[in-house]
Structure 1
Amino acid sequence: MVSKERLPFTLGFLGRMVGTIYVSMVLHSYLLSVFFSVLQVLALLYYAVSYFPGGSAGLRFLSSTLTSSVLGCFGS
């Protein structure tokens, strides 16, 4: 994760992680904690799609499986 082409992602993800910890531990802001947590998830999804082989296809399969499982729980 420290290679030249992955360094922007690494720095961005670490910055978002520090931001999450800061707003939750120092500012005690629930909304900002949720915001930074969502940014972390989006960064990880970007990393999975960009750098793992079959990232977008795997993510599409995982999301469709998760969606059908959730809908099955609610009887829709």
Structure 2
Amino acid sequence: MFQRLPFTVGFTGCMVGTIYVSMVLHSYFLSVIFSILQVLALAYYTISYFPGGSSGLKFLSSSLLSPVSRIFSS
């Protein structure tokens, strides 16, 4: 029942953050960062509805992040 609650809170937080930094702080850089986080949270939330979506996404993200972590750990 509460499996998607962290994603909902994360997406809502990113929306509020995007509006705050764009309307109050007038920061272009932070607006772009929060917008990217918002799109990623929405994509992960949407993929979690597909059968095997979250496990497939975890596999894909680990496959993509392992070469990057090897590059930066050297």
Relative to the length of structure 2, the TM-score reads 0.64
Shift of 1:48: 1.8
Shift of 1:51: 1.4
Which deviations, in whole Å up to 9, do the C-alpha atoms of 1:27-73 show, x marking residues without a partner?
000010011000011011111221134758xxxxxxxxxxxxxxxxx
Separation in structure 2 between the aligned mates of residue 48 and residue 19 of structure 1, nearest angstrom:
20
**Structure (1/2) with the larger helix percentage:** 2
Which deviations, in whole Å up to 9, do the C-alpha atoms of 1:8-34 show, x marking residues without a partner?
111111001000000000000001001
Aligned residues: 54
Shift of 1:6: 1.1
Unaligned runs of 5+ in 1: 57-76
Write the letter of the residue equivalent to 2:14: R
CA radius of gyration, larger in: 1
Q: CA RMSD in A?
A: 1.8
Aligned to 1:43: 41
Over the matched positions of the two proteins, sequence identity in percent amounts to 78
Higher relative contact order (CA 8 A, sep 6+): 2
Separation in structure 2 between the aligned mates of residue 13 and residue 37 of structure 1, nearest angstrom:
10
Q: 1:64-75 alignment to 2 at 5 Å?
A: none
Unaligned runs of 5+ in 2: 55-74
